[in-house]
Structure 1
Amino acid sequence: GEAGSFSADGRQPKFAAFLTKPVKASHLCDVLQTIFSSREKLTQRFEEINKPQFDAQMGQVHPLRILLAEDNATNQKLSQRVLERLGYRADMAANGLEVLQAMRRQPYDVILMDVQMPEMDGLEATRVICQKWAQTQRPRIVAMTASAMKEDRDACFAAGMDDYISKPIRVEELVSALNRCVTVTAAPEAKQPSVHAEGLTAITILDQAALEMLREMAGDDEAFIAELVAIFMKDSPQLMAEAAGAIARSDAETLRRAAHTLKSNCASFGAQEMARLCRELEAIGKSGDLNGAEDIHARITAEYERVKAALERLVARPQDQF
């Protein structure tokens, strides 16, 4: 066809190259080499963009004591390798009983918990941890399972797990889960964090994209942002108290409303974990069955203290944090 011709649907086709007739073999060869070379470069570029991104400094910037609970030897090695490439070293446990033994020896900030394990599975181990360790003293528990059904996720959260990643592990999903973790108990020899390190800790608790959007909406007015933070800190304890009272009275509708409002406020500041817990509490209120509400409320209360500390740092050092 002609160079300016159109296809049947009226659109002009995209040509990779043009040849004039009569076609010379040497010209044809040059054109084909150019086309295939360009496609190869595009393919390589696409593969580079979609490669898992490993930040070997993550373990230094966001240090965590990790316990990996996994009975499959292949999964153990693969998970350890991924963590090593992120700058972490993890202790190992092959079942829930070994998890409990490890926790009695030393504190951890996060447990990457396989759900299906022999002797004691991840769900039962989580229930025991929630019973024997206070919320502020126990590690964050991240479920690892190949089961992708909603009921499987619900079972993990009902047992007391805090987060969920699917197997096979995706690097970006693991990184996000680790970024949502905080240090449970500071090591005795740990130095006081620098201003920069404090800011990084705040960012792991508060979603940076949400903070940037908030700043844009506020027109870079730090005083206005500080006012919003003050309102959040004033309203949140009141809403949590309202929710606690509703739980005590078995008032499902009041619980739902309080959790919904608190969830919305958390989302504005990027407090994703607190917002997730509020969403769970809201769902409980909506269902009318308040079983488990008290435990989730306790977790919200503990998470609020972390969010509050992060927001205080952000307001104190807006030039560094926002």
Structure 2
Amino acid sequence: MTAAGVSAGRCPPPDLPPLPQKNLLPEFQENAGGAVNQIPVGTGTILQTHKSKMTIFLKTGTPSQSAGMLPFAGRRILVADDNPVNQKLAVRMLEKLGCLAAVADNGAIAARMHASQPYDLVLMDCQMPELDGYQATARIREHDRGQRHTPIVALTSATGPAEREKCAASGMDDFLAKPVQPQVLKNMLGRWLPPPAPLAQDNLEAVHAMFRDDFAELTALYQSDSPKRIDLMREAAAAQDHAQVARIAHSFSGSCASIGAAGLCALCKDLELHARTGALHDIDRRLAAIEAEYARVSAKLQAMLAAP
């Protein structure tokens, strides 16, 4: 263990800057039961009250805004922090980077949320009630043992070597000093969440040239059918029906190939492969990428039809 606060083999270079804060994912409901009240407070934002705890749920912008513009579009980040001001600031910063952010008010809730659904990364405040960040990290590591390794980043105002060692000893992977700055947060996410490979270039123009006057009819059929398939994949994913996810993804990839949406076809094939092998811990991120790419393709198709 080094003073940089990360165990051997997992530590980013020690000269990298500190890291950021927290967030919460949309559509999360704790399994412990009890009423959940949702209050719309603005576009894409929900305040959810559960057992006298307030959690901020935030969906990022529309798929068309995310596609190709936000560096971490669809990434699921769990932020564990008991300070509502820190929560709000973290959510805003993560939103601007395209993340789907979820907030837990203490370590016990964070551990339960992580057990309920996987996250790409956890931002963990060290000092929290009920279960502190060190204890929550240990619980998450115990749950993940032999399955996956979720990056956990410490959030703390104590920046000395002793604190870094304590974070690393508990199983945390990285260290962020408070207050967190937007660029520091972005740098940290880039270290642990590398961008996906670029999508294949689409062939929409070639298909347009092939079908000529029939292209408008083909486009209308594709745009009518595709949203239904995406919705069905989300329903199957929510039901943890991986076989159904694979079947729909396979069918959708075929229609995407026919219209010339090569990048979207590749995303669907990749989802199908992971669904068939049961490796779907990041299915929400994959579906978000499919939705974003479909929005881009659909907008391009409309522009092509409107062109003289």
- Using CA pairs under 8 Å that are at least 6 residues apart, name the structure with larger relative contact order, 1 or 2: 2
Whichever of the two has the greater Rg, that structure is 1
Write 1 or 2 for the structure with the bigger share of helix. Answer: 1
Q: Please state which band the TM-score falls in when normalised by the shorter chain.
A: 0.3 to 0.5
Q: TM-score, normalised by structure 2?
A: 0.41
Q: TM-score, normalised by structure 1?
A: 0.39
